[in-house]
Amino acid sequence: MGEYSVKGIIFDMDNTLLRSNIDFGRMKQEIYAYLRDRDLLPKQTVIDRETSSTLIRQALATNRMTPRQVNEVWAIAAKHETEGMAGADLEPGVRELLAELQGKAALTVLTNNSILAARAALEENRILHAFDLVIGREDAGELKPAPDGVRLILNRYPRLTPRDWISVGDAWIDCRASQDAGVRFIAYCADMEKMRGAGTVPDDSIAHLAELTRVIQST
């Protein structure tokens, strides 16, 4: 590891590695409307406090969704992901950061996007090869903000402990998932008001990915 004590990094993808054009607001509205119209959401659901994944999680928890409805609601998400990831550019500093970190830490991606959309977008930007592991929603179990995907990654590296890892992302769901699995979370260009509103407090924050090496070295 050389000068780094961090041995593994879990990256979110949208607006962390890739400058996503996914219209998350429109996606959430369409998913909310689909679920609401089929009476698949708790009456007290407030859309402003939810994400697409938490809305779907609530609907699944009712145990009233048919297999067809499950497929249809995920198809809504996939449609927006495919549209929004087409031509997505890298966030500033990604290529340089990955070049610096390769060989010094296990580099992984955990995204609520479909694995096909994720791998296609990473490959289009010629950085897929830099990652040892990419986990999409098909394999993650319960999606972020649940810690299932983070724990899945940790289990793939049994010689490392949660304290050997850090997680990097832009949203409160990334923070909650990471910290609930015992992994320190670094917020990247995050909306701190939304973070606080969700009851999440990052372990550190950065405004440019180049700052991540500072965080790693000081950990």
Three-class DSSP category at 117 = helix
Residue 2: what pLDDT? 46
Task: Taking residues 137-158, report their average pLDDT.
Answer: 95
Q: Which amino acid is at 82?
A: T
User: Residue 165 above 90 pLDDT?
Assistant: yes
Domains parsed from the chain with CATH numbers = 8-19+89-218 (3.40.50.1000), 24-85 (no CATH)
User: Residue 20 above 90 pLDDT?
Assistant: no
Alpha-carbon distance 121 to 210, whole Å? Answer: 22
Residue 3: what pLDDT? 55
Place 1 in a pLDDT band, splitting at 50, 70 and 90. very low
- Specify whether the CB–CB gap between 154 and 164 falls below 8 A: no
Kindly report, residue by residue over 34-80, the tens digit of the pLDDT: 999 999 999 889 898 899 989 999 999 999 999 999 999 999 998 99
Residue 86: what pLDDT? 79
Residue 215: what pLDDT? 85
Residue 197: what pLDDT? 92
Closest by CA to 185, choosing from 97, 93, 110, is: 110
Of all residues in the chain, the percent with pLDDT exceeding 70 is 98
CA-to-CA separations, 139 to 85, 116, 133, 178, in angstroms, rounded? 20, 12, 12, 17
Residue 156: both structure tokens together: 């793939």
Task: Taking residues 147-175, report their average pLDDT.
Answer: 97
